[in-house]
Structure 1
Amino acid sequence: MVLLTTLLTGVAQAQTPGPAFDFDTVTRIARERAEKPYQAASDTLPADLAQLDYDQVRDIRWRPDRALWRADKLPFEAMFFHLGLYQKEPVLINEVTPQGVRHISYRSADFDYGKNKVRPDAWGDLGFAGFRLHNHLNTSAYKDELVVFQGASYFRALGKGQQYGLSARGLAIDTVGGNGEEFPRFTEFWLVRPDPLATQVTVYALLDSPRATGAYRFDIQPGTQTTTTVRSRIFVRPPTGNGSAKSIATLGIAPLTSMFFFGENQPRKGDFRPEVHDSDGLMVATGDGEWLWRPLQNPQQTLVTSFATHNPKGFGLMQRDRQWASYEDVEARYERRPSAWVRPLHDWGAGRVELVQLNTPDETHDNIVAYWVPAQMPSPGQPLEFAYELSWQGDTQQRPPSAWATQSRRGMGYSKQPAEALRQQVQYVVDFDGPALQALPADATVKAVVTSDANGQVLENIVYRNPATSQWRMTVRIQRQQADRPIELRAFLQHDNHAVSETWTHIILPE
């Protein structure tokens, strides 16, 4: 059963790549696709493959000795994922060499099918579910997994000593604000054969969906902080009269997807682990120089907030807390999960960083999404171009230049107030650290500038140096006005009328 005949024929007609294959080549394909109605790939699997369950599909593995570029002892290698169960739509994969471009065909001999009783020789060129790249990331004795592209436009990477956590995407469409989220797919990849001394590897990708297409270039450089330099050109398809392609309400650029189950600001009773999350906050560097930190939460209902700015300096979903004792999970090792920081490589103009927080009943579901929304949508046929550096960071990660929140704890200690009064109050204890605070003299006077929206009243606001850590601790107690409505809080530390920390901005969820 050959699934890729139609796709391969269409691609062959759409492109005749030669030695000069580059980003403009993929752009031309994306532009031509955007001018035509969307055509979905077939998701019909051979019957014996379609009946395999999760564990059986996992038992199908690429043979490492068949890795692309291994025989030539190049610094990078590529291995491929098999279709099955959740990954039913094939992607095309090609290799770009100085001699031209060649299609990498699916061959059953490249896979170990384990204990599965299947007949792969009858499947034809089935295609792949995605691929992963390997490199000497942690040791010269073994090529570790460096980056994975699999499922829609998802990809994720690792720096030295890290363990997979959050993911990035090529594009987000109507995550909120529309008639249901659309998940654009990377339908074709081109892997550029690296030089023997290469320190980075390049991947081109074609994105396609009912309402948009896109050309992408990824330059991936491994290291203590692995960086993925992304260049994208996006084309919006024109709405059709029959309603099959509607206009886009929210276009999300450089989207990040993560998980927050519970943490110090939202503890969970009955779980022995203090915290469970891949990311603990959203950090934003606005165009006017303000640094913002929003601790993540697991809301009962979908919570959407945003930060409007012009030409942002960066944003990211960060895993700031990197202490083993904060998680106590010997398997998940959340303290090793990377932060992902997006740094624009040109002016992005006006727009907003949007944060979507969904409810999740456990840690197996991603429930956090963050992305950039441009203020203006492009006209059909006009490219929307964005370039940015995406850094996968560990213990050394992007920080504000002044000081930052190291933890945000919710709860109260002993109080003489009546229990009824305390039920209407919320208290946070937030610790700050950083060079601007460490440089202050021992007798420095530091205060917190705290503001609340109309639904909250600031009852108490105290700042003092923590003698146990030499950090500065802010305690803020808020009185609710209406328990069924959220409260927006903002706070930063100030010395001699100068801000000496980032802005801590938090949402108190409705009861």
Structure 2
Amino acid sequence: MSKQFSRREVLAGGLAAGALAFLPGLAAAATDPRARFGSAKPFSFDALKARAEALAAKPYEGPEIRAGDVLETVDFDAHQQIRFRDEATMWGEAGNEPGVRFFHLGRYFKAPVKIHAVEKGEARELLYSPDYFDMPADHAARDLPEDIGFAGFRVMAPGGKTDWLAVLGASYFRTSGPLDQYGLSARGIAIDTAASKPEEFPRFTEFWLERDGAGGLIAYALLDGPSLSGAYRIVSNAPNTGIVQDVDCALFTRTAIEKLGVAPLTSMFWYSETNREDAKDWRPEVHDSDGLAIWTGSGERIWRPLDNPSRVVTNAFLDTNPRGFGLMQRDRDFDNYQDDGVFYEKRASVWVEPIGTWGEGSVQLVEIPTDDEIHDNIVAFWVPRAPVEAGQSFDFAYRLHWVADQPYPAPVARIVATRIGMGGIPGQPRPPGVRKFAIDLEGPAFEGLDRSSGVEVVIDASRGSVSNEVAYPVVGTDRWRVLFDLEATGHDPVNLRMFVRLDDKALSETWIYQFFPTALA
């Protein structure tokens, strides 16, 4: 699996917007967290990096889990009964500063994290107290030690009714995006995802939080796991201008790592119009993201529709100094989801913009089979080409754009739908082993063009044969459609690559798809 817990377990921890409600009108006895700080200590990002480097030179020690038997009883329902007292919100008194609230430990988040507040180069630890939380008198969490600690934190929108940033579990974090609806997650690092050995989940063990003076938040974090340690600086701007996060990280390896996944994104894809025949649910589509977009170092724009394969599949897109990649939710039409509870059409897309040169490597996409929407089964990240050995250090900087669409639009047409069905010609006998692909595109590159303009479809298939390819405008819309038949059999996948051109000029993104003939047999 790509995670240690399912989507439903994540929701149990409160990553979903509004997952932890707040009780109005709490008594004045609610604790003010500003009275519960430890002593001040000097703090800087350079010092944090030095600490991470020193930590990596020592054998790994996992987190201490205290009162694990009690925490095991704090399941989804019990965790939902624990309410953070809104009067105890750290900061947020002024309209232009973030208010921070904290998550309680539970079955799915047993390892506590330390949280510090930073001001003028000094840090004070926020000391846990059960007084921060309200819960029923007979709640199991009342049997926990008085210093059990926090599970994570979230940053509230002005007014304190909803949150726009949540950090909880391993090294996961996410924002509500421009449409105020949580979906996919980012995380600090991915270690050996879909590799020959079990995946590791290093965790953020400590946080240092600092106000930026403009409504945003600077979060420093110490990362630790069996194979490496790291120091992170994540600058999250205020959501009223669109959520962008600048990430700087310094990594120090303890052991050799088979696959180092930088800037990892984790999402969910069950089915869309592409694999609708696999659906067991009444809704037309169910997914947080519907495709992987890549802007290569050479300038090519790539669109790879997501799939829900029958086995774990990894695809690597080789590149040098990529300009960006991301998991996108392009379909924004409610009619294509019909879910007025979780609003998949509002789920954020996330675009990773490398800062500086990342050298040679690959954007890798991992797709894991799922039979429900509760599992995050899609992972995308950058993997450096060079082997990662023990005792090495790495520095990466990148910008995360939480957006409705790609932040740097391409001048070419983009792919908006991929459909697969029976091949051949309607009204005539359908040839066995032949599938028809229908790919819809839209964009200004097609303006002024029609069927007689000489628009050409360029297709490459790794095996099998392609026929009946054509591109034409869809009547009554601003879209164009590409149709072609693929004849291929067997269990091995067929790697397809297609784009549309006029003369020598590309009019569209490059569409890439991995098709399994037996999936539609």
TM-score (norm: length of structure 1): 0.89
Give identity over the alignment, percent: 42
Alignment match, 2:221: 205
Alignment match, 1:415: 426
Q: 1:340 to 1:205 in 2, by over 3 A?
A: same
Distance (Å, rounded) in 2 between the aligned partners of 1:473 and 1:142: 46
- 1:178 equivalent to 2:196? Answer yes
Of 215, 222, 230 in structure 1, the residue corresponding to residue 231 of structure 2 is 215
Alignment match, 2:506: 499
- How far residue 100 of structure 1 moved from its aligned partner, in angstroms, is 1.4
Distance (Å, rounded) in 1 between the aligned partners of 2:65 and 2:56: 22
Alignment match, 1:124: 146
Output the amino acid matched with 1:257: T
Q: 1:48 to 1:347 in 2, by over 3 A?
A: closer
Distance (Å, rounded) in 1 between the aligned partners of 2:311 and 2:258: 21
Alignment match, 2:56: 34
Of 454, 463, 487 in structure 1, the residue corresponding to residue 471 of structure 2 is 463
- 1:266 equivalent to 2:275? Answer yes
Alignment match, 1:428: 437
Q: How does 1:340-355 map to 2 (within 5 A)?
A: 340-355=350-365
Distance (Å, rounded) in 2 between the aligned partners of 1:405 and 1:119: 50
- 1:333 equivalent to 2:351? Answer no
Distance (Å, rounded) in 1 between the aligned partners of 2:467 and 2:149: 62
Alignment match, 1:251: 260
Alignment match, 2:253: 236
Q: 1:64 to 1:478 in 2, by over 3 A?
A: same
Q: 1:317 to 1:162 in 2, by over 3 A?
A: same
Distance (Å, rounded) in 1 between the aligned partners of 2:447 and 2:90: 50
Distance (Å, rounded) in 2 between the aligned partners of 1:176 and 1:269: 25
Of 95, 108, 111 in structure 1, the residue corresponding to residue 133 of structure 2 is 111
- How far residue 503 of structure 1 moved from its aligned partner, in angstroms, is 0.2
SS at match of 2:289: coil
Q: 1:132 to 1:102 in 2, by over 3 A?
A: same
Runs of 4 or more, structure 1, over 6 Å off, are none
- How far residue 75 of structure 1 moved from its aligned partner, in angstroms, is 2.0
CA contact (8 A) 2:74 2:140 kept: no
SS at match of 1:411: strand
Q: After the TM superposition, which of the residue ranges 116-125 and 357-366 deviates more from structure 2? A: 116-125
Q: How does 1:75-474 map to 2 (within 5 A)?
A: 75-98=97-120, 100-114=122-136, 116-118=138-140, 120=142, 123-136=145-158, 141-142=159-160, 144-195=162-213, 198-221=214-237, 222-223=239-240, 225-238=242-255, 247-267=256-276, 268-394=278-404, 397-412=407-422, 415-419=426-430, 421-422=431-432, 424-438=433-447, 440=449, 443-454=452-463, 456-474=464-482
Which structure 2 segments of 5+ residues have no match? 1-38
Q: 1:395 to 1:371 in 2, by over 3 A?
A: closer
Q: For 1:474-507, what per-residue CA distance to the aligned partner results, in whole angstroms no more than 9, with x for missing partners?
A: 0011001x32111110000001221111100001
SS at match of 1:249: coil
CA contact (8 A) 1:378 1:384 kept: no
Which structure 1 segments of 5+ residues have no match? 1-15, 239-246
Q: For 1:310-363, what per-residue CA distance to the aligned partner results, in whole angstroms no more than 9, with x for missing partners?
A: 000000000000110111111121000000100001110000000000000101
CA contact (8 A) 1:159 1:223 kept: no
Distance (Å, rounded) in 1 between the aligned partners of 2:269 and 2:188: 21
| Aligned residue pair count | 477
Q: After the TM superposition, which of the residue ranges 252-261 and 432-441 deviates more from structure 2? A: 432-441
Q: 1:435 to 1:23 in 2, by over 3 A?
A: farther
- How far residue 403 of structure 1 moved from its aligned partner, in angstroms, is 1.3
- How far residue 439 of structure 1 moved from its aligned partner, in angstroms, is 5.6
- How far residue 117 of structure 1 moved from its aligned partner, in angstroms, is 2.9
- How far residue 57 of structure 1 moved from its aligned partner, in angstroms, is 1.6
Q: After the TM superposition, which of the residue ranges 435-444 and 206-215 deviates more from structure 2? A: 435-444
SS at match of 1:56: helix
Q: 1:396 to 1:479 in 2, by over 3 A?
A: closer
Of 64, 73, 78 in structure 2, the residue corresponding to residue 56 of structure 1 is 78
Distance (Å, rounded) in 1 between the aligned partners of 2:235 and 2:486: 47
Q: 1:365 to 1:224 in 2, by over 3 A?
A: farther
CA contact (8 A) 2:191 2:257 kept: yes
Q: After the TM superposition, which of the residue ranges 57-66 and 87-96 deviates more from structure 2? A: 57-66
TM-score (norm: length of structure 2): 0.87
Q: 1:503 to 1:122 in 2, by over 3 A?
A: closer
Alignment match, 1:10: none
Alignment match, 1:24: 46
- How far residue 49 of structure 1 moved from its aligned partner, in angstroms, is 4.0
- 1:483 equivalent to 2:493? Answer no
Output the amino acid matched with 1:70: G
Distance (Å, rounded) in 2 between the aligned partners of 1:106 and 1:462: 65
CA contact (8 A) 1:38 1:209 kept: yes
